[in-house]
Amino acid sequence: MTTGWRISSVTSTARTCVLMPAHMSDSALINRATLIIDQVSADSPADYVLRGVLGADKSIPAHEKRDISRAVFSYYRWLHWLDKAASTQSRLASALDLQSKFDQAPSGFKIETLAARAVPEWLKSELDLTDGYLRHLQTDPALWIRVQKEFAAALPRSLGNCTPSASFLVPEARRSTTLRYSGNIDLFKTPEFQQGVFEIQDLSSQLVGYAADPKPGETWWDTCAGEGGKTLHLSELMENKGLIWASDRNTGRIATLRKRAGRAQAFNYRAVTWNGGPFLPTKTKFDGILVDAPCSGVGTWQRNPHARWTTTPDDVKELADIQLQLLNHAAPALKPGGRLIYAVCTLTRSETTKVADAFTAEHPELSSDPVLGQGPRLHLLPHELDANGMFIAAWKKRG
């Protein structure tokens, strides 16, 4: 439920009474969020503009930045309820009003209306639009952190507002390190974050690390390491022993990975570029390979609602081809007995079961392997975990 909002009068351009955060004037919020929305386009997504504008402005306090982000995301969550002819300010006021009404009484919104307006028309051919899924999409996302095991007892005391994950999928020994944070401080500015005590990482992403379950001393390849979210988790699970090859085609992301690894004191990795092609970055054979592939990100649409209106069926098709190619190129680098983990933060059939089916059919040398003690294919549903949607599949190389 949304908290901290109050009924307020509105600016001259916004027509209706609107719910506002308690600590920011209505006109300031509407005006700042409007400035951001007016810069958003298919080429400049909302999350990108928010990062650019708010990241650059040191004068706005963290809690106000959070309110502005929430207002912008509410706008895209309720976009197809808004009057196209109205001004951005007026539309934003209506979106905040709808958000507040939904937070107070979600059952007041018919599921058929949510199915028709909260997601693009094409989505229903790619996943089941259940009641739970659609209602969860229209709420604010949870914030998850991953704390290094040695600080698991101390961090909740120093940060406050931390609750361990209740998901049975988180291994028993790790329950105290996967925390939900519900406080208001800017976590990036805390000394604990700066010292690498914890990372902000969605629960579903943490479950990918637990599904990989690398052991100290093993050799792993994180093929699409990006900025290193999963690499750092693998490193911690390996107790900094053994080696992780962390590759990505984007050198900027690799540079960020190196900085983050320094902060987290993760040393057992080697960062390299790999463009996803048949020429692999090393001849090493691996105990485990993680393909955390680029995807449509449909599983993140609660967190980033603007993406609902920019992602297309063509993107899904194109990404599914890339995902299969990445798996095909990476698989020969497995040792006999080695495990291959495929993860995507999407739930479209094309990028999940269809990719897994096609890959399985092409690789008789691999057998399906359980994921987190479940079957070999796990759909992490956002409304069940209060986290991103994620698909994880695993195989083991025979012999």
Ligand X SMILES: C[S@@+](CC[C@H](N)C(=O)[O-])C[C@H]1O[C@@H](n2cnc3c(N)ncnc32)[C@H](O)[C@@H]1O
Question: Interface with ligand X by CB under 6 A: which residues?
Answer: 205, 224-230, 248-250, 253, 274-276, 292, 294, 322
- Closest to ligand X by CB, 82 or 147: 147
Among 162, 224, 295, 345, the active-site one is 345
CB of 138 to ligand X, least distance (A): 24
DSSP alpha helix (H) spans, 82-153: 88-104, 111-117, 131-137
Q: What is the DSSP string of 136-156?
A: HHTSPPPEEEEE-GGGTTHHH
Tally of helices (H runs) and strands (E runs) in the chain: 14, 14
CB of 12 or CB of 251, closer to ligand X: 251
Instruction: Quote the CA–CA distance of 214 and 244 in Å, as a whole number.
Output: 10
The helix/strand/coil state of 106 is: helix
What is the DSSP-derived secondary structure letter of residue 124? Answer: G
The Cα–Cα gap between 134 and 323 comes to 26
Q: Least distance (Å) from ligand X to the CB of residue 247? A: 7
DSSP 290: E
162 a catalytic residue: no
Token pair recorded at residue 290: 């993680």
Quote the least distance from Cβ 177 to ligand X, whole Å: 17
Closest separation between CB of residue 314 and ligand X, Å? Answer: 16
By beta-carbon proximity to ligand X, the closer residue of 214 and 226 is 226
The residue among 292 and 351 lying less far from ligand X, judged by its C-beta, is 292
CB of 305 to ligand X, least distance (A): 19
We find the least distance from the C-beta atom of residue 115 to ligand X, in angstroms, to be: 27
| Residue with smallest beta-carbon separation from ligand X | 276
Q: Write down the residue that tokens 């010292």 correspond to.
A: 195
Q: Which is nearer to ligand X, 134 or 316 (CB)?
A: 316
The whole-angstrom distance between residue 46's C-alpha and the CA centroid of its chain comes to 15
CB nearer to ligand X: pick between 65 and 260: 260
- Distance between CA atoms of residues 260 and 265, nearest Å: 8
**Cβ atoms 116, 81 nearer than 8 A:** no
H or E segment at 328?
helix 313-330
Q: Which is nearer to ligand X, 93 or 261 (CB)?
A: 261
Of the pair 156, 299, the CB lying nearest ligand X is at 299
Amino acid occupying residue 98: L
Enumerate residues 6+ apart whose C-beta is below 8 A from 385.
167, 169, 203, 204
Q: Write down the H helix ranges in 146-237.
A: 154-159, 191-194, 203-212, 229-237
Q: How far is the CB of 180 from ligand X (least distance, A)?
A: 19
Q: How far is the CB of 60 from ligand X (least distance, A)?
A: 27
Could you tell me which residues are beta bridge partners of residue 273? 248
**SS3 assignment, position 39:** coil
C-alpha–C-alpha distance, residues 387 and 143, integer Å: 8
Q: Which residues of 246-255 are buried (b: 16+ CB within 10 A; e: fewer)?
A: bbbebeebbe
Q: Name which of 306, 232, 280 is nearest 71 in CA terms.
A: 306
Q: Which residues are catalytic?
A: 345
